[in-house]
Structure 1
């Protein structure tokens, strides 16, 4: 048994991102905290995503995405894109990446990616993406997962898994 799993796992440092996905004319975006670089050559990022989510279908079928780095001041944006819904992108300014995936204009930076492959990872899928372009858009300090409290409701999920 792991006591206080929700608090302990938040000590693993990682940021909070908005991942923009596109499949043809269909676009969506979701909040992700489990993103990491996994290779230098080629430049690869890994994204963890729930395969039951609408965005996963767009990512899988479209094969492209952007990883948009949020600033510490963008907690409300992380919360917004962490919710379910089909028209979450309204009210935000979007640019188009080389691949055609949506870039959140107010993010600190973005990584434009093509899906390489994906694999099972418990209740999620790990999607490995090749970075084809990237740029800094705005100055600031990145939002860390540990700064989001229980925004994602993870304390309940740890309780459900029997690890707390």
Structure 2
């Protein structure tokens, strides 16, 4: 048995992101910390998503998304998009449209516009492997790290 797994796993360095999704009609976004580059050629990113969430339905329907890198001053944004079941979750934030049609968070540091290559099972989540279609800097700043978010995601009780 692992003593204090929540604190130990938070020491694995990774950032905090908002994943923007659409099905062409509806849009949503969610906070993610399990994101990584998995290939140079083609440029691929992978992220973990809970298949029970509304965002997964939209992602499955369209197979497009954006990965928006949050800065250290974006704690409130991470917290907002980490909540489930909010009506009009996108309201109150500035959005742009990516080439794929997925929403880009205008306040992010960097965005990656992606098409899903494939999904794979990963325990209680799915892994979306995505080919990057476009990417750009939008704002200056330093990326937020997952361990800087404390218990925002409630992960301690999940272990």
TM-score relative to the length of structure 2 = 0.98
State the distance in 2 between where 1:40 and 1:57 align. Answer: 28
State the distance in 2 between where 1:8 and 1:24 align. Answer: 39
The CA deviation at 1:112 is: 0.1
RMSD: 0.5
Other structure's SS at 2:77 match: helix
The aligned residue for residue 48 of structure 1 is: 48
State the distance in 1 between where 2:47 and 2:117 align. Answer: 11
Q: Stretches of 4+ moved more than 2 A in 1?
A: none
Counting only pairs closer than 5 Å after superposition, residues 22-33 of structure 1 correspond to structure 2 as 22-33=22-33
The CA deviation at 1:10 is: 0.4
The CA deviation at 1:86 is: 3.9
The CA deviation at 1:87 is: 1.4
State the distance in 2 between where 1:30 and 1:68 align. Answer: 10
Counting only pairs closer than 5 Å after superposition, residues 1-164 of structure 1 correspond to structure 2 as 1-84=1-84, 85-158=86-159
Name structure 1 gaps, 5 residues minimum: 159-164
Q: How many equivalent residue pairs?
A: 158
Deviation track 1:87-119 (CA, whole Å, cap 9, x = no partner) reads: 110000000000010000000010000000001
State the distance in 1 between where 2:121 and 2:27 align. Answer: 24
State the distance in 2 between where 1:142 and 1:83 align. Answer: 21
Name structure 2 gaps, 5 residues minimum: none
